[in-house]
Structure 1
């Protein structure tokens, strides 16, 4: 997933980074790698905190796919803040210069990711690979963890979540009813079904 995501960053960085006089040519790749780390780190933090619902909403395009809508999404806004801070600290750019880079590149990258995840004819990204990578990298098949990430993709196929979707995804999240040590292990992995349901129905 990282190589594909870095490819999206490169596609959206020509003007903001490569042609930016504030960024020396020798640092172009490093700035892109810093953006990559901020994006994956931000997604990972959300996944491990149990905010699967928020990630599902973002990657399904429920927050919109234009730049202003994406930058107003709390997950994307958090990634942007961290990315700006990282670029300022690592490369000595001003906040405004770093902010310009992030605001130019990040919406395009996230928008492309949303488009690819939602396109059944594009196999470069899907919910299985994206969320599987975020939650440990080795949990990409249902047999390895009891969590079939493709359940999330199918749950969002009609563009909305209903109770049947929640039951199907929830059963997958909990390993089909796993109990005891196995259930504890899954909860320690950051998948909080209670938090998912609470988020969907306005809980705190």
Structure 2
């Protein structure tokens, strides 16, 4: 879902990033690709660390402002922009603090009103088999959480 959603808004987000941050179109485009991976990896890390309720709360429409999950995603994404695109720290933070809440708001628009199982199913392919890992008990979570991921 994340991959498809970001791909569908890539042109819009690329243009907005170029306009708001001064990135060249090529770097803005590349930054959106990095965002897809950063967000998917961060969500996967939240799940495997056991923060199911925090993640589901965010995905069901929780505030992105001051949310520790969002802060972690922004920081990870900003670091990736520095290392992969060579952006200055100030520009990478500007890009990340705009792009991450923008993308998460679009994800929330698709998940609002859905059950945890539905959301997990929607995210399944983006999170690389986390449902299977949870069913097998990664981090002691297993058991009842396996069904949460519709696998």
TM-score, length-scaled by structure 1: 0.58
- For the residues of structure 2 that align with 1:53 and 1:21, how far apart are their CA atoms? 34
Helix, strand or coil: the match of 2:50? Answer: coil
Distance verdict in 2 for CA 1:133–1:88, change over 3 Å: closer
The aligned runs of 1:46-195 (5 Å cut-off) are: 46-61=46-61, 63-64=62-63, 70-118=64-112, 126-131=119-124, 133-134=126-127, 136=129, 186-188=136-138, 192=141
When the two chains are superposed, the root-mean-square deviation of aligned CA atoms in Å is 3.0
CA contact (8 A) 1:34 1:86 kept: yes
Aligned residue-pair number: 140
Deviations 1:88-147 (A, max 9, x none): 112222111111111112111101111111156xxxx8442115642517x5xxxxx6xx
CA contact (8 A) 1:48 1:191 kept: no
CA contact (8 A) 1:88 1:95 kept: yes
- For the residues of structure 1 that align with 2:78 and 2:21, how far apart are their CA atoms? 17
Partner of 1:36: 36
Q: Give 5+ residue unaligned stretches, structure 1.
A: 65-69, 140-144, 146-172, 174-184, 197-204
Q: Give 5+ residue unaligned stretches, structure 2.
A: 146-151
Which entry has the higher C-alpha Rg, 1 or 2?
1
Alignment partner of 1:14 is 2:15: yes
4+ residue runs of structure 1 moved beyond 4 angstroms?
A: none
User: Which has the larger share of helix?
Assistant: 2
CA displacement at 1:43 relative to structure 2:
0.4
Partner of 1:4: 5
- For the residues of structure 2 that align with 1:128 and 1:73, how far apart are their CA atoms? 23
TM-score, length-scaled by structure 2: 0.75
